[in-house]
Structure 1
Amino acid sequence: MFKPLHQRLNLYLDGDESYIFVPAEPVGAKSLVVHRHSGDIVVDSSNGSLPFNAKRSGKTVYGILGLIQLSISEYLIVITGRELRGKLQGHAVYRAADFEILPLDPSVSVMNPPHPVEAHLLALVKSHLACSMLLFSYDCDVTRRMQAQYVAKQNDEGRAFWEVVDDRFFWNKYLQSRFIDIAESNPQNDLSPFILPVINGTFDVRSSAVNSHTVQIALISRRSRFRAGTRYFRRGVDKDGHVANFNETEQIVIIDPESAKETVFSFVQTRGSAPVFWAEVNTLRYKPDLQIMDLQDTVEAVRQHLKEQTILYGEAKLVNLVDQKGHEKPVKDAFERYVAEANVPQVKYQYFDFHNECKHMRWDRISLLIEDLKEDLIRDGYFHRIAGQPDPVKWQLGVVRTNCMDNLDRTNVAQAAIAKWTLNMQLKAAGMSPSVLSEDDFVDNHEQLSMNLRELWSDHADLISKAYAGTGALKTDFTRTGKRTRAGAFDDLLKSALRYLKNNFFDGARQDAYDLVTGTWQSHKGPSSAMFLITDNRPLIIRAVPYMLTFALFMILAGLTLPRTSDYSLSYYFLFWLTLFGLALGFTLIHGVDYVSWPRLLPPTDIIHYDGPGFRSAHKGKGFGMDVGKLKAGASAQWLKRRTDKQMEEIELGTKKRVD
């Protein structure tokens, strides 16, 4: 068992001198002191005595998320509200529900920041905290799947929690870096009881009664902190083999929990962007321009990603659901080509033409994919442990890695179907006395169990989709009910429209928030170095056209709704304003890249300007035949500059840990 964490802290403010965190229990535990002027972080050795002027904060602190440096001050982020999401084998799992941001600089106010740049960066941090599903447990490692914890249990004994977690899913690793550095360099000043690892993901647990057994199903998804971001601004792979939107999803099944015959199953799947260098460049059109970059590093990046999968999980079965024709075909072709060139042992490729096989809302035909995977699923198995037995009955020897274009909607349907098939196999497993399901019985025959499974996977799909694309998942009517409906298709249409708006006009700031909180971009002291965040240097004509468009639309609506003051014809009136509206709209579309909400901290300039080998579906949204090399992603917006070598050095990707 790893060293215990403090679960509740009382915060005291010693004027402008320090923040003091006193553990509520155990009584007499050492306090943590953060000195505001020097930034020093120490474990107090004064036997619990507090400074005379120290005043207690009105809020209980349930954990310290970490420290972040912005342009003027460092800020301490603490969790002041938590929501119980459920219990896993008796261990509570919480969602961080409320936060407080404490400035170290006594002259800085979070409510009234001293500079617009500081206000902008603080707003990014607040928005990320408010919109993220941050999960934690004090006595259960939610960062690692059960099999990995079992393998490492002897090595974990007596170590600090932060030392044993899966580094990929330690979401606040960058925020905790100061605490970790101190804990590593000075064992006498051990901050480990205050270092709370948090994951960004999903967790839910449901119980069902099946044939005189209690069947508890928990679903937990862990999002990688590497290459994290939003739908169109994080795609593909990076040079270190990290892919966008990588999630490890673990379905845990506990039969008769907390009994002498408790039986535990764990089945893990992964998802992630197609591991090649590719992107989609927003142009305000519904379909962005598809860009695939054939770089010298591609084969090695693909090889690193696939090797990591096999080292961590065993044999990797790559299930590709990308369309084999139309807009998506180049991604499929590049994926297949580079996987073949990488030639990594223990990697098998499986293509499934989802849209063709399941057209006309026949999504039950996902069973064809299960049939193709059946042999591998049986061979690779799942983790199976029975209470009282010294060794597991079974190990999971491989993983199914699924992807579509976004790794959301089609991927959700496929993963849910695979998980359901595996659950049927688990509940009939040998070694259970007796088995929950007989050989001729199935999950679908038990309404409560079937409904719980569908809702778990549907809620999980919605949360992952909101984090990446900004809306709930598409196609969840099938996951929830087992049927594809016209109402579900209409709901998908509305979600698609909302995704378009968010991905084109709001996701730039969301991506900046990801890059700031995960440490992919790090702020320098002094707001002058980040003025590009709050200035708009686009040409006047670019900035003026949206106002012209809006005013023309207003005048057209006014002509339709306001009472007439004379009998003369309005033909010329409407002709003028419709012409102006059409010209403004056409100009906006022709210069579409100027109006997209691009990330400002790490803008994708290299992708927009890419002119090397590869594939580009079109060059839309870049104006009237202008030299692409002179364009910035905001046309001539000066804030969108190419990355410098110094900026690249600032990107912290951390050190990957092999956990089993």
Structure 2
Amino acid sequence: MRPLHQRYTLYSERNDTYIFVPEGEAQSLTIHRSSGDIVLNSPKYTVPYAAQRSEKAVYGIVGLISLTISEYLIIITGRTLQGQLMGNDIYRATEFDILPLGSVSAYIPPHPVEARLVNLVRSHFSGGNFLFSYTWDLTRRLQVQLPVDESQAGKAFWEVVDDRFFWNKFLQSKFIEVATQNPNAAYGAFILPIMYGTFEIRPTFLHGRHMNLALISRRSRFRAGTRYFRRGIDQEGNVANFNETEQILLVEGPTTPGSVRTSDDNYATKLSYVQIRGSVPLFWSEVNTLRYKPDLQIMDLATTNNAMHTHLTNQTKIYGNQSLVNLVNQKGYEKPVKEAYERHIAELDVPNVKYQYFDFHHECRQMRWDRISVLIDRIKDDLDKEGWFQIDNGSNTPKKTQTGIVRTNCMDNLDRTNVVQAALAKYTLNQQLRDLGILSSTDGVDDFQSFSKEFREMWADHADAIAKAYGGSGALKSDFTRTNERTQKGVLEDGVKSVTRYLKNNFFDGARQDGFDLVTGAWVPRKNPSASLFLIADARPLITRSMPAIASFSLFMICAGLTLPRTSDYSLFYYFLLWFTLFGMAMLFILLHGIEYVSWPRLNPLTDIIYYNGPGFRSGHHGKGLGGKDGSSWKKSRMTPVGSKRPALVEEVELGTLKKRVD
């Protein structure tokens, strides 16, 4: 692959251009602010004398995004080294700058709608875990990347990356268009693919062998979003919270005492094991109502089988055979999801796809986490048959390839999924080490405390990162992943994490979801801020908006009343009666109209899902006021944004899918 530029000096010439000058003798790039044109300068080009040099170094160009008034250039101005993978530096982006192309300010935009959108972009990049490398393709697993493919030698990075994990693909559209139109020019060296995910690598030692154990998770940019606002599948077969997780083991050759370790990519053996996770591939959602348990909504659409078939066949083309491990409860709240999933799987009967149900909470009740071995025993034959990828030093032909994959899901694809994936990874790691002769047939990873500790902590950190990105807090049950034991302290920590998730999912995730939709291109704004006034306006009735203020003021007056002097036990009776009554009425109103107080996404509203009345299953109609199932007042206030002549629910938005829309 063609190399990428690793560092730039940024110059700006008045309000006319941004000039990126790479290190070395490479051609510089100019972006014209007035027209947005991207031009590769001639090798003899010199920066104008009057150009102003930026004090910050630039480590990559993320891309361009067009908002309601101006286009903005997003660049990386801070990075930290996460580690080295086979001699290649892997970085995490830590600081971003947003540079306007028009004559506006990115910090004080001229219109509140523009300010809102800029803040969504800024918070998205400041709150995510974005990884990149200039010399290694992080988006592709070893099995795809390591066998030498001569046809890719002259291609740019962006041409060979896995499209699912090319997070800034939409932002790089203009750069890619210019590079495609000028294939012989060096535009590709400026296009830096970034990945939303995790990367960690740790050196370890076992039975005289130096090794590096790495873990990479890759988050799909399709149907991306937050826990309750992105569930299930879309019409194109993409599922929410899809992550590919790759465990890599790099083993050096046997060493003699006193020998010097090599620091280059001279590993005797490289091994890789891949798993995937993703939301239950149905059209379903959970509707927040301020209750701890949202209303469960399953939509039995005519296109469900087609969408599920597309999803499963796409995965088999990429990974081979699939073992679907479903961890959803078979009783209570989650039961309808399990039944619908199994019904459609039976109807489809997709070749090379096997379904395995495991009732995690029932099997592992009373903290019997060792019972996960029951699941492993059930799918052991498939795990052994499908194996892992292995290539030895000096060989271009893999010794082994992974011919199948385990797709694990629970309701959120977080906590139960994390525990099971870690157990499957440990089982495979044991098999790999035994196959290499490093462990005997009776030994296991858990028999070696230091090695086991590195493995457990790596998987626990990985679980926390995925859970924060999707659910808003660290993973539950991570104490078991870290220590191999479920503890009372871990249960208490899980309680705190659950409360954190509740608060974030109900009161903050709407803006986070809007950030995902804006950056990935699921929503494209018009060049007219007045058309998007609904982003900053509160269209709810005055009585609805006033209730939190009434409840807060009443609580304040109650607390103040406790400090007032009193002549008798009954002197403040009517005072407290008044304020307790107002407080109770306000809280009752808030609970009855809970949907009104949830932070909903505004760019792609979910009203059709909330008020779906077709075939399927609905656990309840809470939070919609006394109208309950109808909830006409909520629909009236939420469906017509201020400044719009048509409903916020655009015709292009279909159930269970996010199409690009223009507002």
TM-score (norm 2): 0.95
* Residue aligning to 1:657: none
| Deviation string, structure 1 residues 559-578 (Cα, Å, up to 9, x no partner) | 23x14153352333222222
* Residue aligning to 2:406: 400
Answer yes or no: is 1:167 the counterpart of 2:173: no
Sort the Cα spacing of 1:259 and 1:171 in 2 relative to 1 into closer, same or farther, 3 A: closer
**How far apart are the structure 2 equivalents of 1:508 and 1:457?**
29
Answer yes or no: is 1:272 the counterpart of 2:278: yes
- Residue 110 of structure 1 and its aligned partner are, at CA, apart by 1.2
| Deviation string, structure 1 residues 495-525 (Cα, Å, up to 9, x no partner) | 1011111100110000000000111101111
| Deviation string, structure 1 residues 361-413 (Cα, Å, up to 9, x no partner) | 11111111111111110000000111023311110000000000000000000
Q: Note the residue ranges of structure 2 that are not aligned, 5 or more in a row.
A: 253-262
| Deviation string, structure 1 residues 136-187 (Cα, Å, up to 9, x no partner) | 0000000000101135723322111000000000000000000001111222
Indicate conservation of the 8 Å contact 2:12/2:19, yes or no.
yes
Indicate conservation of the 8 Å contact 2:250/2:267, yes or no.
no
* Residue aligning to 1:33: 30
Indicate conservation of the 8 Å contact 1:323/1:329, yes or no.
yes
**How far apart are the structure 2 equivalents of 1:345 and 1:79?**
45
**How far apart are the structure 2 equivalents of 1:372 and 1:633?**
48
**How far apart are the structure 1 equivalents of 2:427 and 2:388?**
12
Q: Give the one of 282, 287, 294 matched to 1:288.
A: 294
* Residue aligning to 2:624: 622
Indicate conservation of the 8 Å contact 2:86/2:265, yes or no.
no
Code of the aligned partner of 2:145: Q
- Residue 581 of structure 1 and its aligned partner are, at CA, apart by 1.3
* Residue aligning to 2:601: 599
Indicate conservation of the 8 Å contact 1:284/1:593, yes or no.
yes
Code of the aligned partner of 1:110: A
Q: Give the one of 75, 84, 91 matched to 1:78.
A: 75
Sort the Cα spacing of 1:651 and 1:191 in 2 relative to 1 into closer, same or farther, 3 A: farther
What is the SS of the residue equivalent to 1:428? Answer: helix
| Deviation string, structure 1 residues 41-60 (Cα, Å, up to 9, x no partner) | 01001513112211111111
Indicate conservation of the 8 Å contact 1:594/1:633, yes or no.
no
| Deviation string, structure 1 residues 445-468 (Cα, Å, up to 9, x no partner) | 111110010011000000000000
**How far apart are the structure 2 equivalents of 1:650 and 1:337?**
25
| Deviation string, structure 1 residues 73-126 (Cα, Å, up to 9, x no partner) | 0000000000101110010100001011110002x0112111101110011011
Indicate conservation of the 8 Å contact 2:231/2:284, yes or no.
yes
* Residue aligning to 2:235: 239
What is the SS of the residue equivalent to 2:341? Answer: helix
Answer yes or no: is 1:218 the counterpart of 2:214: yes
**How far apart are the structure 1 equivalents of 2:651 and 2:147?**
41
- Residue 626 of structure 1 and its aligned partner are, at CA, apart by 5.7
What is the SS of the residue equivalent to 1:191? Answer: helix
- Residue 634 of structure 1 and its aligned partner are, at CA, apart by 8.4
- Residue 636 of structure 1 and its aligned partner are, at CA, apart by 4.5
Indicate conservation of the 8 Å contact 2:621/2:629, yes or no.
no
Indicate conservation of the 8 Å contact 1:125/1:513, yes or no.
yes
* Residue aligning to 2:260: none
* Residue aligning to 1:4: 3
How many equivalent pairs are there? 644
Code of the aligned partner of 2:539: N
- Residue 31 of structure 1 and its aligned partner are, at CA, apart by 0.4
- Residue 551 of structure 1 and its aligned partner are, at CA, apart by 1.1
Indicate conservation of the 8 Å contact 1:5/1:139, yes or no.
yes
- Residue 631 of structure 1 and its aligned partner are, at CA, apart by 4.6
**How far apart are the structure 1 equivalents of 2:636 and 2:207?**
62
Q: Give the one of 418, 424, 432 matched to 1:426.
A: 432
Sort the Cα spacing of 1:623 and 1:36 in 2 relative to 1 into closer, same or farther, 3 A: same
Name the stretch that deviates more: 580-589 or 349-358: 580-589
Indicate conservation of the 8 Å contact 1:608/1:633, yes or no.
no
Indicate conservation of the 8 Å contact 1:537/1:637, yes or no.
no
**How far apart are the structure 1 equivalents of 2:290 and 2:148?**
49
TM-score (norm 1): 0.95
**How far apart are the structure 2 equivalents of 1:647 and 1:637?**
13
| Deviation string, structure 1 residues 528-553 (Cα, Å, up to 9, x no partner) | 01100000011111011111111111
**How far apart are the structure 2 equivalents of 1:36 and 1:439?**
65
Answer yes or no: is 1:96 the counterpart of 2:93: yes
Code of the aligned partner of 1:567: S
- Residue 15 of structure 1 and its aligned partner are, at CA, apart by 1.0
Q: Give the one of 43, 49, 54 matched to 2:51.
A: 54
| Deviation string, structure 1 residues 308-359 (Cα, Å, up to 9, x no partner) | 1100000010000000010000011111111122221000000000000001
- Residue 580 of structure 1 and its aligned partner are, at CA, apart by 1.6
The two structures, once aligned, show a CA RMSD in angstroms of: 1.7
| Deviation string, structure 1 residues 587-624 (Cα, Å, up to 9, x no partner) | 11111111110000001011011000000000111111
Indicate conservation of the 8 Å contact 1:606/1:642, yes or no.
no
* Residue aligning to 1:564: 565
* Residue aligning to 1:263: 269
Indicate conservation of the 8 Å contact 2:287/2:610, yes or no.
yes
Code of the aligned partner of 1:138: Y
* Residue aligning to 2:225: 229
- Residue 635 of structure 1 and its aligned partner are, at CA, apart by 5.1
- Residue 554 of structure 1 and its aligned partner are, at CA, apart by 1.1
Sort the Cα spacing of 1:475 and 1:627 in 2 relative to 1 into closer, same or farther, 3 A: closer
* Residue aligning to 1:656: none
* Residue aligning to 1:516: 518
- Residue 442 of structure 1 and its aligned partner are, at CA, apart by 1.2
Q: Give the one of 110, 113, 121 matched to 1:114.
A: 110
Code of the aligned partner of 1:79: I
- Residue 639 of structure 1 and its aligned partner are, at CA, apart by 2.8
Code of the aligned partner of 1:6: H
Sort the Cα spacing of 1:568 and 1:450 in 2 relative to 1 into closer, same or farther, 3 A: closer
Q: Give the one of 138, 159, 166 matched to 2:134.
A: 138
Code of the aligned partner of 1:45: S
Q: Note the residue ranges of structure 1 that are not aligned, 5 or more in a row.
A: 654-660
Indicate conservation of the 8 Å contact 1:310/1:316, yes or no.
yes
- Residue 202 of structure 1 and its aligned partner are, at CA, apart by 0.4
What is the SS of the residue equivalent to 1:384? Answer: strand
Structure 1 residues 458-469: aligned runs within 5 Å:
458-469=460-471
What is the SS of the residue equivalent to 1:477? Answer: helix
What is the SS of the residue equivalent to 2:367? Answer: coil
Structure 1 residues 185-584: aligned runs within 5 Å:
185-256=181-252, 258=264, 262-429=268-435, 432=436, 435-560=437-562, 562-567=563-568, 569=570, 570-584=572-586
What is the SS of the residue equivalent to 1:129? Answer: helix
What is the SS of the residue equivalent to 1:400? Answer: strand
Indicate conservation of the 8 Å contact 1:538/1:637, yes or no.
no
- Residue 260 of structure 1 and its aligned partner are, at CA, apart by 5.2
Indicate conservation of the 8 Å contact 2:511/2:601, yes or no.
yes
Q: Give the one of 608, 630, 634 matched to 2:610.
A: 608
| Deviation string, structure 1 residues 231-262 (Cα, Å, up to 9, x no partner) | 00000000000000000000000011847552
Indicate conservation of the 8 Å contact 2:232/2:284, yes or no.
yes
**How far apart are the structure 2 equivalents of 1:634 and 1:439?**
67
**How far apart are the structure 2 equivalents of 1:303 and 1:642?**
31
| Deviation string, structure 1 residues 171-227 (Cα, Å, up to 9, x no partner) | 000000000011112224441000000000000011111111012110000000000
**How far apart are the structure 2 equivalents of 1:251 and 1:645?**
43
- Residue 583 of structure 1 and its aligned partner are, at CA, apart by 1.2
**How far apart are the structure 2 equivalents of 1:634 and 1:136?**
45
Indicate conservation of the 8 Å contact 1:262/1:387, yes or no.
yes
**How far apart are the structure 1 equivalents of 2:118 and 2:266?**
51
Indicate conservation of the 8 Å contact 1:235/1:278, yes or no.
yes
